[in-house]
Amino acid sequence: MKKIIVTGAAGFIGSNFIKAIACSESVKNKYQFIVVDALTYAGVYESIEKEFKENSHLEFKKIDIRDSAALDNFSSEDISGIIHFAAESHVDNSIKNPNIFVETNVLGTLNLLNLALKLQKKNSDFRFLHVSTDEVYGSLKESDPAFSENHHIAPNSPYSASKASSDLLVRAYFETFKLNTVITRCSNNYGPFQFPEKLIPLMIQNAISNKSLPVYGDGKNIRDWIYVDDHNRGVWAAFTKGKSGEVYNFGGNSEKRNIDVVKDLLRILKKPESLISYVVDRLGHDWRYAMDASKALKELGWSPLVSFEEGLEKTVEWYLNNPAWIKLVSERMTK
């Protein structure tokens, strides 16, 4: 069985990857997965605890990717790949404290790339997949075409700058050291187990509690939304079928204004729009993101399967049915 390191899999996207991909019948009989996570405030081991209890092909190690010595312990093992989800990801936090974003997203990725060079020498089939974001491309006007993989990189927040920097390091290791790499860039993810600092889970949680729903500026900023399981199908397709050195975009074909997403949530939850409150806009707030995923369709056979309407209904239902998880992470946020 091939052994894969997955970083950051106690977080939102990574935990859903473990559930939907790593524990699927077609994958679990061929691969072993070593989950590496520092369990920061947004890393919730309880999100994946059930999977680890029920599956012997999963192994968990609490490791911070900033710790190069700890990562180097893997260098003697026969490992076929690294799927790198781990990142500091909240834009507001990056504005308040950029340093931790550089330390984790840039230096942490560099540590993993150095480990990858050692692992590739032992395993010619080795691959490094780096999970990135549409935010590295910057901001679009409403009349602009969607981001393609050839769009110039122009990050506008400390978070997106740290992700762009890590993307460029991955590219450099492909070009300089011939490391087998793939980069994926996705639009805004949503779905179960998302930490309630992000728009959709925050609005769901506040609406359930009849609290104010804070919307930045006039709420007209546009995002392309992708259901987390669709994104993870793309990550796995890129890891198993993508071309070395390439970048693949994943989007949900679901461009929505933030205010319309909030109103959709209130409609599903049968809550009044009077709960909406407009707050001072975020610094450097990008106006619009949109993804051209035609390359992923052509080369990987990937396209999104879950419509925004279906995905939003499923997401709301999950949060309504999992109050214990919400209580757990809410308590961690207040510590």
For the annotated catalytic residues, the residue numbers are 134-135, 159
CB distance 87 to 104 below 8 Å = yes
**Phi/psi at 180 (5° precision):** -75, 105
Question: DSSP class of residue 64?
Answer: -
Q: Per-residue DSSP letters for 130-157?
A: EEEEGGGG----TTSPPBPTTSPP---S
Amino acid sitting at position 179: L
Cα 11 from Cα 4, distance rounded (Å) = 17
**Phi/psi at 81 (5° precision):** 180, 165
Say how many CA atoms lie within 13 Å of 245 toward its Cβ.
7
CB distance 97 to 158 below 8 Å = no
Cα 201 from Cα 244, distance rounded (Å) = 35
Cα 185 from Cα 165, distance rounded (Å) = 14
Say how many CA atoms lie within 13 Å of 299 toward its Cβ.
19
Q: Please report, to the nearest 10 degrees, the dihedral formed by the alpha carbons of residues 149, 155, 158, 164 taken in order.
A: 30
**Phi/psi at 47 (5° precision):** -65, -25
In angstroms, the Cα distances linking 100 to 7, 89, 90, 161, 162 are 17, 11, 11, 13, 10
Cα 286 from Cα 291, distance rounded (Å) = 14
CB distance 161 to 155 below 8 Å = yes
Tokens for 7, please give them.
């970083």
